Amino acid sequence: MKTFLQILTLYPFLALLLIIAYLPSPLQRLVSKLFSFLIYYALPSRQKIISNNIDIAYPQIPQEEKKELIAKNYQMLGYSIIEMAQAWFLPVSYLKKRVMLKGIEHLENAKKANQGVVILVPHYCNVEIIGILLSIKQPIHITYQIAKNATFNHFQNNRRNRTIKTTISSKNLRQMIRVLKNKELLCYAPDQSKYESNAPYIPFFSKKVKTTTGTVKLAKAGNAQVIPLFAYYDSDLKKYSLELNLL
């Protein structure tokens, strides 16, 4: 019964995403504004999180600028749903034309050193399309958090696996290490850690917060290099620019 209800609620949403993926760009932007509006009122707790993070990162920012940043965050959240629809439903041949990848030499150097790579991915709003675009350019494995809706998990991984080698549960440390020991590429998006008892307190701008040690553990256990990924949308070229760069 639970599975039936999951399907009943999920499939209309997926059908909507399929339609959105093929809409003209002006209509997609209009729909994204509607999503932004819905997210703003449906998730009031997020407003406080965004506000707190801005206070930590920019304590001296005027209130008007702070409101603008909050508004832009919701705009990005709304448009990330459009990007997810594009990543899941548009042909791979089309997506391939919309991405530029720089810094491949870092991956080649790791290969020459007989090492795998942990590709460090920030928590961008549009991390879904970024991961899929990167997988079109390079054979990668990704980690993900298992959602409560089993039907959604199945569909999400089905869409991702069009281009991604494997999708690995964030709890499956053994499989992640196996990928790295096989000298392959693993995308990993670390975060602050509330539940890791021995997690160190790392400065987040002016505040120290508990931060996961997963990146270090993975790199050591898998004898891998760690290479950050930076990404942005180039509005002039109408392409996503992905850059692998050693800090």
Reported as a pLDDT band with limits 50, 70 and 90, residue 5 is low
Q: How far is CA 223 from CA 18, 107, 168, 174, 245, in A?
A: 41, 14, 19, 14, 19
pLDDT, tens digit (0-9, with 9 covering 90-100), for 43-91:
888 888 899 889 988 888 999 999 999 999 999 999 999 999 999 999 9
Read off the pLDDT of each residue in 185-208 and give the average, rounded to a whole number.
81
16-to-154, 174, 179, 235 alpha-carbon distances in Å: 18, 37, 35, 26
Strands 140-144 vs 185-188: parallel, antiparallel or unpaired: parallel
pLDDT tens column, 92-111: 999 999 999 999 999 999 99
- What is the number of H-type helices and E-type strands within the chain? 10, 9
pLDDT of residue 111: 94
- Alpha helix segments (H runs only) across 138-202: 150-160, 173-181
* pTM of the predicted structure, to 2 decimals: 0.89
Which amino acid is located at 68 in the chain?
E
CA–centroid distance for 63 within its chain:
29
pLDDT surpasses 70 at 7: no
